[in-house]
Structures are given as C-alpha cells and as structure tokens.
Amino acid sequence: MSTPYQKEVLLRPAVEFYSGMVSATSAFFLIAMPGLLMIPWTIAYVAATFFTIIAIYDCYRGYVILRYRRAISRQGPFEIRSHKVPVYEDRLYIGTGFEWGQRHTQRYLDTFDDKYLPFIKKQEFHFARGIQRLFSKIPLLSLISYYLRQTWVLNPWPPVAPLSGDVSLNGVEHHQSKAFLPKSDRRQHTYMAGATGTGKTEAMELMVVQDIHRKSRDCVIVFDPKGSASLLKTMYAESILAGREEDFTVFHLGFPEISAMYNATGNFSRITEVSSRLANQLPDGGDSSAFKEFGWQFINLVVRVSDEMTIPVTLVSIRKYIGDVGPLYLNYSKMSLDRKYGSTWVEWFNDEIRSVVEAEEKSNNRAVIGYLSGRPVEEQAMHNLLRKGQFVLSDSQLFLDLEEVLKMSASHYSKLVASVRPLLDKLTAGQLELMMSPSEAEIESGRRLLEWEQVIRKKGIVYIGLDAMADFTVASAVGNAMLMDFVSTASRIYKEGVLGDTPGGIQSEEIAVWMYLDEVDALVGDEFIPMVNKIRGAGVGIVALSQAVQDFEVALNSVAKQKVIIGNFNNVIMFRVRNKETAALIADQSPTVRVLQLTDITTATDTDNMLDGSLFKSSNEDRSTNTETPMITEWMVMRLPIGQAFASVEGGRLMKLHYPFRVRDYRQLIPDSIVEMAGQMERRYRAGNDWYKQIA
C-alpha cells in the first residue's frame, strides 16, 4: 500500500472506516431525502454517487489495514494438490513469493516496536488456543471450542498452521505471486540450506515433480542418503502419472532384493578413475594419508593388470587380489609369456612345477626363497622360471610392479592395505556383492543395471537411497563412487556430445539432466569441486541440500574447499538455519538500506513571565531519524517459519518464498513392494518434515 507520507504506518486503528461510514451515511440521506436537504434530486444523486465512491475507497483502505494486521499475526496452511503443481518448459516453479525490498524491512522492524504490539495480536491467539483446549470436553462450553477451531471469517482468532518461526516475515507483503527459476539459471546450480524439518526436502520434491512431468522428458537423478519414504513414493507415483514408469529406476542399499544393480568399477574413461573412486573413501588425516596413497597404488595395480588381461574389473575381483596378489601375478605372467613366446614356455614351466614338488617332498625349505614360502606351487614355479633368464618379462612395468608386491612380507603388506580391505569388505558384504559387483551372468539375467550413460541417453528417472543411518561409511563410499562415475560420464558428454546413434539414445546435443543431492555432506568429496565447476557444460544442473555450510568443511576438512564449492552455487535458497555463518550467505548479498524511526518528544520549560501569568511552556513533536541496516539480516533468516525461505536467484535478485505443501494420494498407484519398502524407510527415519500432517 503506497503512501504519500514520510513513514508508512499499517499497524494502527483502521480509522478509514469512520470516514467511510460518514460518507456512506451522507450518500444515504442524499438519495433518500433530497427534499429535506432542499437539494434538487439530480444534484443529490450526483453528490450521493460521489460520497458512495469515497465511502467505498475509505472502506477499502480500512480493509487493507485490517488485512495487513491479520496477515502479520497469523498464517493458514498453504497447500496444493500434486496434479495441480504447475509445470513449465522454460522455468521452474518455486512457490509463491515477492521481491524483498526496503519497505519490507521497515514493516518487519516495526513489529518489534512496543507501540505497535496492540495491533499484532499474537498473544490473543495463544489465549484463544488455551480456551479451545480447556473447553473442548466441557458440555455446552465445547461449542466455544468448536467455534475457535473454525477458520471462517467470523472467527477473529482462527487456528494457524504449526509452522513455528515468525509468520510476520511473510505477512509484510500481501501481493504475492508465483515465483520461478529460469531454466538457464538452473544449470548454474542451486544450494538449499536449512535446519532439519524446515521444509528442504518438501521443496525439493516440488521441483522433482515438475522435472518428471516436463514434456521434454528431462533426466532426473536424486541422491537420498538418509532415505525419505515420501520422496521415493513421490518419484515412483509421479513417474507413472507422467507415463514414464519404464524410465524409473530404484537403487537402495537397504533393500538389495528389489534394487537395481550398479557396477561401481565398470565404467571409466581413464584407468586411474577406479582407484581414485575407492581410495578417496579412505581416511587421509595425519599418518593416514601415506596409507591412503599405498591403498591407491595397490588398487590401481590390480585394475591396470585386470584391464590388460581383459578381466572384468569388479569390487569382488579387487578385494580378491588385494587380499592375495599371487593369483594375479601367475595369470598375468602366463598371459604375457603366451603373447611373447607362444607355447614354448609351457614345458619349461611344467618342469619347474615338478622341481618345486620334489623339493617340498624332500622338505628342502632352503630351495624355497623366503618370500615365496607358503605360496602355491605354480606361483613358486613361475617365479623360478622367470629368474633363470630364458624367458624374460622384466620389460613390462606391470610385471615388475606385481613382482615387487609379491616380494613383500605378508605382515608388511597387510599393514599397507589395512585401510583398504575393510572398505572393500563392507562394499561387498552379503547382498551388497550382488548390487555393487554384479557378474556377467547376473547382468544378462534381465535385472536392471544402473549405468549413467544409458540413464542420460534414455532420459531416465533414478532414485538412489544410500541408507546412511544404517552405515554411514558404506553410504558415503557408494555415493562418492557414483558421483565420480557420473562426473566421468559427464566429462565424456562435454567433450564428445551425446551419441544419438545408440538405440534409445538422444538425437540432439541439447540435454537436460537435473541432479538432486539431499544431505550433500554424506556425498561430498574432492571430486565434488570439479563437478560443480565444469559439469554445467554437459547440460547438468545440481541442486544440493544441507543443514549448514559447515557440512562442506567437515566433509572436506578444508575451509578453502568449502568456499570454492559454495562459490559455484549461483542460486541460494535459505530456509531457517541455526547459525549465522550459514545465514550470512543470504544476508551478505543484501544491500544496506535506510529505515525510519519515529520518536515522540515532549518537553516542558519553566517560565516566570509575569505579564501573561504563565508558569511553564510545553511542546510535543514527532522526530524522525534514519538508521542504516542490512535489508536482510542473519536473525531474520533464523526466524523463518517452516516451508518459507529467502532466496538469491537470477544474479542476486532477493526473494521471499513460501513453498506449498503437496497433498498426496498415491495409494492406488504404488505396488506392494514399494509400499513395504517405504514403510520400512519411515520406521528407520523420522524427522520434522511431517509438520504438515498436524495441520487441522
């Protein structure tokens, strides 16, 4: 509501109704009794019309005052049914809102002025709720309780949504409209922060629903470390409603029996990627960094040799050969001898086997080299054969590396790989072996295999549940490996484009991949930095969610890396947070504005003017002062209600957003297996995201 006065005052009595009533009364008398006023009826009607317009205008101004006072004090639920979520091809709906400006800062700061408190009737609402609870079970008086529970206009104290926070932040502006994030800006990545239960996941679901239903059939990938049953059901049901059920894939570490398979080591463009994916999960602080390097070297050696021998690289094979490199040494030596010498070495090899067996039968331990003691006969025979010099493989660096490892004492080798083996054991324990290291027979059985290149080409919809609450180490390792695999795939797309000649592939170079990373602290690693730096060129837009910016620092053990990652998110959506450092991401982007303060000043001065008989002089004045303050402060962010956020979008445009709660009913769409899976997820994880279920 614009005003010509120096200070806009909306927290006051609606005095406009008084002048409106006077004008309406004047219009009534002019129409009903023009003769009594001795005015010709034509003039009376014109005057009555004029007074009627004034009455309507004044009453409207009074209504605006009452509407503002009501909005600043209370807020009802904001809901939208899933099938009514707006979907646009060129932009993303992010709730309703308005652009925050200086007048909103002024209005909000006014709510803390004691002289305006009588018009902010928050205490009356608390009192009404107490009366509602007190009278609810008392005969007759329960009618009062029923009356207070209603949200109709005649109830001045209706119940409000249990959103906590300060609803005044949303009430400072009545004219709110749909807010959007342009598609071009989405590829500049979005960071959403907020404490647990403030509505981050609900907001993310709203975005995911739109991406699934878009006519361009965008590729949607969601990483869910904690395991949100609502998110899984939403993605599955919306995929069915969008006619994309065949595009939907579930990968969940907690439910291997119905999960898709994923070969964490089967896809790479550089041979070193596999070792980096696994070694990055190893501790690297202090003395551990050296063991991490040893772990990388051993894994890389196994992968290089396996690739040279055209053996499928799987977690199981890596675990096997890390535990005992002997069989790999033997098989690689046989392959290399075949390539170099044909079959001429076989007879000599058999002779060496017989020699080793005879030596063992005679218990001639001196004939066995120390580091070969206890090794299988064939490994000893191969080593003896190659030592004699008739058959030489020393020109192969891979062979020399394998031989060096073979020569290590068992105790020394075990210490060097002590950090690697537990990780591999966890990643291949139980049914995880089937999920994370599928054999060729299992892949050919028809069970779905998750491959990023195929997902992007076929514009798939993927839900990835990592069950981090059950085992954070495994969840983090799998999540990081998947992200590194995805970065590798995206880099190929960036360099080579999307292959349209592949069956089911994309015919044009224009692709849209939207990746959502909930609880990103469980996923982030060193590979995340190049991911947010360069992945935009491959058509990928990232939405990352966390509770605080410190999550990146903890995960990366580096403040500098945290700042690099945060600096790559051009869009920031900030829900209520609990620390100033996170809130400052928004507050620091807001300019400094001037707010007006009115001060009542009363003075009295003694006088001894005997001429007029006055004893003192007094004066009253309103003095206005301007003070500078950030347009959005950290404590404003820390007082946001659930489901509401401040946002910096479109190159620094500051918005106040209000996300709707989606009313869902998917019971007829979701199969029993998914329902049971979601039920178990709900029992494992429960957070404040269920605030909407409490709304009456």
Helix (H, G, I), strand (E, B) or coil at 68: helix
| pLDDT score of 268 | 75
| pLDDT score of 689 | 44
Inter-CA distances, 639 with 161, 179, 401, 574, 632, Å: 16, 21, 60, 11, 12
Comparing 427 with 638, the larger pLDDT belongs to: 638
Q: Which residues of 406-416 are buried (b: 16+ CB within 10 A; e: fewer)?
A: beeeeeebeeb
Residue 680 pLDDT more than 70?
no
For residue 134, the surrounding DSSP H or E stretch is: helix 122-135
| pLDDT score of 38 | 78
Query: What crossing angle do the helices spanning 41-71 and 16-32 adopt, rounded to 10°?
Result: 160
| pLDDT score of 271 | 81
Considering the chain, what is the average pLDDT of its residues? 82
Q: Which residues of 278-296 are buried (b: 16+ CB within 10 A; e: fewer)?
A: bbbbbebeeeeeebbebbb
| pLDDT score of 612 | 64
Max Cα separation, the chain?
A: 142
**Do residues 460 and 511 lie in contact, with contact meaning Cβ atoms separated by under 8 Å?**
no
What share of residues in the chain are helix, strand, coil (percent, to 5)? 50, 15, 35
Which residue, 161, 139, 173, is CA-closest to 1?
173
Residues 479-494 pLDDT 10s: 888 888 888 887 777 6
Lowest mean per-residue pLDDT among 68-82, 169-183, 269-283, 579-593: 269-283
Comparing 12 with 430, the larger pLDDT belongs to: 12
Mean pLDDT of 128-148: 82
Comparing 76 with 103, the larger pLDDT belongs to: 103
Lowest mean per-residue pLDDT among 265-269, 305-309, 330-334: 265-269
Inter-CA distances, 396 with 301, 308, 309, Å: 13, 12, 13
C-alpha of 444 from chain center: 35
Comparing 434 with 581, the larger pLDDT belongs to: 581
Residue 464: which pLDDT band, with cuts at 50, 70 and 90?
A: very high
Mean pLDDT of 55-81: 88
| pLDDT score of 454 | 87
Residue 590 pLDDT more than 70?
yes
C-alpha of 430 from chain center: 30
**Do residues 523 and 225 lie in contact, with contact meaning Cβ atoms separated by under 8 Å?**
yes
Residue 632 pLDDT more than 70?
yes
Contacting residues for 526 by C-beta, under 8 A, at least 6 apart: 280, 556, 561
Which residue, 360, 409, 362, is CA-closest to 380?
360
State phi, psi for 437 to the nearest 5 degrees. -140, 60
| pLDDT score of 326 | 87
Lowest mean per-residue pLDDT among 216-225, 563-572, 684-693: 684-693
| pLDDT score of 474 | 82
Inter-CA distances, 329 with 174, 332, 622, 677, Å: 75, 5, 92, 44
Residue 653: which pLDDT band, with cuts at 50, 70 and 90?
A: very high
Inter-CA distances, 64 with 21, 70, 122, 368, 654, Å: 16, 10, 19, 97, 25
Which residue, 223, 263, 221, 231, is CA-closest to 438?
263
Half-sphere exposure of 436 (CA within 13 A, CB side): 30
| pLDDT score of 691 | 36
Q: How does strand 644-649 pair with strand 653-658?
A: antiparallel
What is the rounded distance in angstroms from the CA atom of residue 186 to the CA atom of residue 92? 8
Residue 230: which pLDDT band, with cuts at 50, 70 and 90?
A: confident
Residue 502 pLDDT more than 80?
no
What is the rounded distance in angstroms from the CA atom of residue 80 to the CA atom of residue 178? 13
Residue 27 pLDDT more than 80?
yes
What is the rounded distance in angstroms from the CA atom of residue 172 to the CA atom of residue 524? 38
| pLDDT score of 687 | 47
Mean pLDDT of 346-364: 81
Residues 388-411 pLDDT 10s: 888 888 888 888 888 888 888 777
Lowest mean per-residue pLDDT among 91-95, 125-129, 246-250, 646-650: 125-129
Which residue, 562, 488, 489, 563, is CA-closest to 525?
562
| pLDDT score of 371 | 63
What is the rounded distance in angstroms from the CA atom of residue 381 to the CA atom of residue 372? 10
Residue 208 pLDDT more than 70?
yes
Residue 506 pLDDT more than 60?
no
Residue 693 pLDDT more than 50?
no
